[in-house]
Amino acid sequence: MITAKKSSEELTWDVRIEALPDQHKFANAPRMIVRDDNNAILSTVGANYAPFTNAQLTELCNLAAEKGPFENAGYAEFKNGKIVMGFLKNISRQSQILGYACDEYLVIGNSHDRSKKLFLGYTQQLIRCKNQFSSINPFLKVRHYGNNIHMDSLLKGVFDCFKVGREGIHKKIESLATKQINREIIEQLVIELLRREQIKNTHDSRKEVLNSKSAVKMLAAINRETTELGQTAFGLFNGVTWYTTHEMSAKSRSFGSVHGSAMKMNARALEFCLKLQ
């Protein structure tokens, strides 16, 4: 069982569709998606909208655990249930990245506020220090109109997308070990991550950012990881993931979150490292 904010072994609630107040007598009137446990309104939708329910998400996760190399590792909800995610741990074999063992999770996510269609995520956790990295594979799409969901076809898409996405991420991260870094590169990344829009390319501005509490913690994390992993972009990237995993607030770094600020910072760090020569 992973440790995620609001995690549970199963989703104990679902959603229902209700008419908007004073709108039930009108044809094609907008409707509401409502939680069935606390009656919270999650979104307003059109008359033809059919939600992908928590029961369907649970069915899909259970099928993936039954027919694939996964075990069900629990569920998490975000934004009061507007986004829900199921976690499936890859148990086919012990995965490694550059010789370092890591746990891998397939994340199947869904939204009840129309912000996302059904989506896949990939989350890994290096066992040596529990650094976490998540990414979204947004190419699995299910329209929330009509209830003709074919689980077998959907399940095949899940397996295919996970295989392709996993292999792509592994290749990208493994390529980082060939890229050497220096202090200038490290400071450039820290500045971009902490003051991406505001920073001006002046000595005083750089010094101000690098002396901030966040920068000091991030530089310490990078020093920790590059000392053990080497002065490469792989060590640099792991320094950032160590910072987002261990130093950022719990709200920002909930395990497996593929849409939070920690994930966005990791993604920017990976993009920066991949561009290094």
Q: Are residues 153 and 182 in the same domain?
A: no
Into how many domains does the chain fold?
A: 2
- Give residue 118's pLDDT band: very low, low, confident or very high (50, 70, 90): confident
Q: Are residues 158 and 205 in the same domain?
A: no
Q: Fill in the amino acid letter for 53.
A: T
Q: Are residues 190 and 137 in the same domain?
A: no
Q: Are residues 162 and 181 in the same domain?
A: no
131, 245 contact by CB (below 8 A): yes
Q: Are residues 139 and 24 in the same domain?
A: yes
Q: Is residue 68 part of a domain?
A: yes
Residues ≥6 apart with Cβ < 8 Å to 13 = 35, 36, 37, 38, 54, 81
- Give residue 197's pLDDT band: very low, low, confident or very high (50, 70, 90): very low
More confident of the two residues 48 and 199: 48
Q: Are residues 215 and 245 in the same domain?
A: yes
Q: Is residue 9 part of a domain?
A: no
Where a domain ends, among 173, 197, 219? 173
Q: Is residue 1 part of a domain?
A: no
The first and second tokens of residue 193, run together, are 């991550």
Q: Are residues 94 and 155 in the same domain?
A: yes
More confident of the two residues 256 and 149: 149
Produce one character per residue of 203-233: b if its CB has 16 or more CB atoms within 10 Å, e if not. Answer: eeebeebbeeeebeebbebbebbbeebebbb
Q: Is residue 8 part of a domain?
A: no
More confident of the two residues 93 and 163: 163
Q: Are residues 51 and 184 in the same domain?
A: no
Where a domain ends, among 173, 202, 226? 173
Q: Is residue 3 part of a domain?
A: no
pLDDT at 5: 42
Q: Are residues 138 and 196 in the same domain?
A: no
pLDDT above 60 for 138: no
Name the residue range of residue 207's domain. Answer: 175-275
pLDDT tens digits, residue range 213-222? 999 999 999 9
Q: Is residue 221 part of a domain?
A: yes
Beta strands, E only, the chain = 15-19, 31-35, 41-45, 70-78, 83-90, 95-97, 100-111, 119-126, 132-137
Q: Are residues 146 and 227 in the same domain?
A: no
Q: Is residue 121 part of a domain?
A: yes
Q: Is residue 2 part of a domain?
A: no
Q: Are residues 60 and 181 in the same domain?
A: no
Where a domain ends, among 173, 202, 232? 173
pLDDT at 4: 43
pLDDT at 132: 78
Q: Are residues 101 and 231 in the same domain?
A: no
pLDDT above 90 for 240: yes
